[in-house]
Amino acid sequence: MEAFRFEFSTEFAAPAEAVWDFHMRPEALEMLTPPLMGFCITEPGDGVADGSLVQAEVGVWPFRFAWHALHSGVEAPRSFTDLAVKSPFRYWLHQHVIEPVSATSCRLRDVIWVLPPSWAPRWLARPFLSFGLRTLFGWRHRQTGRAILAQGGDLQPLNSGQPLLNI
């Protein structure tokens, strides 16, 4: 079965290095996850580093799941990938890409390949994944902007989140 592909992109008025530095902060993952998702890191691993395994729990009872993500392909300050080796999904691969547009702006792209849980029919999973991923990554990109502004940076979205869907 072919995985669904989802892409969300936002261009920011900030250097690529500023966006990269934010994503490397130990608390970034928790900051990028909406509070209502019940996300909690149980073992941080070595952060964003090749071969690092981050272990977390997500959801609320009775729908609480383990989420273990293995980092790879770390190419500072441009990209890294995490593969869920344990999650509610049959497959989840998330590529984070930070592309310089100019010396003072960059584009943040999140590309996800996902297969829904085995119990979810594909026709039902498609609209739920589409809505859920748009909502999640819109929130994450807004949080990225807020976090860097709070650090005294000049991070303003030049375009607010462009989802590119192949779901």
Q: pLDDT tens across 108-147, in order?
A: 999 999 998 888 888 888 888 999 999 999 999 999 998 8
Give the DSSP letter of residue 87. S
- Enumerate domains of the chain plus CATH numbers: 4-166 (3.30.530.20)
Name the residue with higher pLDDT: 167 or 137: 137
Give the DSSP letter of residue 90. S
Q: pLDDT tens across 42-74, in order?
A: 999 999 999 999 999 999 888 899 999 999 999
Rounded Cα distance, 12 and 161, in Å? 10
Mean residue pLDDT of the chain comes to 88
**8 Å CB contact between 117 and 89:** yes
